[in-house]
Amino acid sequence: MQPFVRNLWYLAAWANEVPAGGMLSRKLLGTARVIFQRGDGQWAMLADRCPHRFAPLSRGRRVGDTIRCGYHGLGFDSTGACVHNSFAGGGIPQGAAVESLPIVERHGGLWFWPGDPSKADPAGIPDFTFLEGSPNVFTRLLMDAHYELLTDNLMDLSHAEFLHVESFGTNGSLLNHGKQTVETDDSGAIWNKWDMDAVDPPGWAQPMLQPGEEVDQWIHMRWHAPAAMALSIGLARSATGRRQLVVPAMLDPHILTPETHSTTHYFFWHQATEDARAMAEQVFRREDEPMIRAAFEAMDGVEFWDLKPLILPSDNAALRARRRLMKLRADEDAAPTAA
Strand partners, 105: 110
DSSP, residue by residue, 45-57:
EEESS-TTT---G
3-state DSSP call for residue 152?
helix
Q: Cβ 104 to its own copies, closest distance in Å?
A: 26
- Find the binder of its own copies among 28, 37, 51, 253 (CB under 8 A): 51
* SS3 at position 80: coil
Total residues contacting its own copies (rule CB under 8 A)? 55
CB hemisphere CA count around 153 (13 angstroms): 27
- Tell me the C-alpha distance between 26 and 103, whole Å: 14
Nearer to its own copies, 97 or 231 (CB): 97
Spatial separation of the C-alpha atoms in residues 305 and 260, rounded to whole Å: 20
Q: Is 154 in the site for its own copies (CB under 8 A)?
A: no
In the complex, the smallest distance separating the C-beta of residue 174 from its own copies, rounded to whole angstroms, is 9
SS3 171: coil
Close Cβ partners of 108 (under 8 Å, ≥ 6 residues apart): 14, 15, 16, 128, 131, 132, 134, 138
**Cβ closer to its own copies: 283 or 291?**
291
Q: Is 169 in the site for its own copies (CB under 8 A)?
A: no
Q: Which of 218, 242, 220, 241 is nearest to 229 (CA)?
A: 220
- Stretch in the footprint of its own copies (CB under 8 A) among 44-52, 135-143, 186-194, 325-333: 44-52
The secondary structure of residue 66, as a DSSP letter, is E
Asked if 158 interacts with its own copies (CB under 8 A), we say yes
Question: Under the phi-then-psi rule, with left for phi > 0, alpha for psi from -120 to 50, and beta for the rest, what region is 89?
Answer: left
Q: Which is nearer to its own copies, 48 or 195 (CB)?
A: 48
Radius of gyration over alpha carbons of the chain, in Å? 23
CB of 62 to its own copies, least distance (A): 14
The alpha carbon of 199 is separated from its chain's Cα centroid by a whole number of angstroms, namely: 32
Q: In the bound complex, what is the minimum distance in angstroms from residue 219's beta carbon to its own copies? A: 15
7 vs 314, which CB is nearer to its own copies? 314
Say whether residue 35 binds its own copies (CB under 8 A). no
Judged by CB under 8 A, the stretch of 110-118, 134-142, 155-163, 234-242 that binds its own copies is 155-163
Number of neighbours of residue 29 by Cβ within 10 angstroms: 20
Quick note: the x/- pattern for its own copies over 291-320, rule CB under 8 A, is x--xxx-xx-------xxxxxxxxx-----
Q: For its own copies, which stretch binds (CB under 8 A), given 53-61, 106-114, 123-131, 237-245? A: 53-61
Quote the CA–CA distance of 20 and 23 in Å, as a whole number: 8
Q: Does 88 bind its own copies (CB under 8 A)?
A: yes
Pick the stretch among 13-21, 33-41, 124-132, 150-158 that binds its own copies (CB under 8 A): 150-158
How far, CA to CA in Å, does 86 sit from each of 27, 69, 90, 221?
A: 28, 10, 7, 52
User: Which window, 66-74, 117-125, 194-202, 330-338, contacts its own copies (CB under 8 A)?
Assistant: 66-74
Judged by CB under 8 A, the stretch of 7-15, 173-181, 184-192, 249-257 that binds its own copies is: 173-181
Cα distance between residue 194 and residue 182, in whole Å: 9
Report the interface residues with its own copies, using CB under 8 A. Answer: 32, 48-56, 59-60, 68-74, 82, 85-88, 90, 93, 96, 149, 152, 156, 158-159, 161-163, 175-178, 290-291, 294-296, 298-299, 307-315
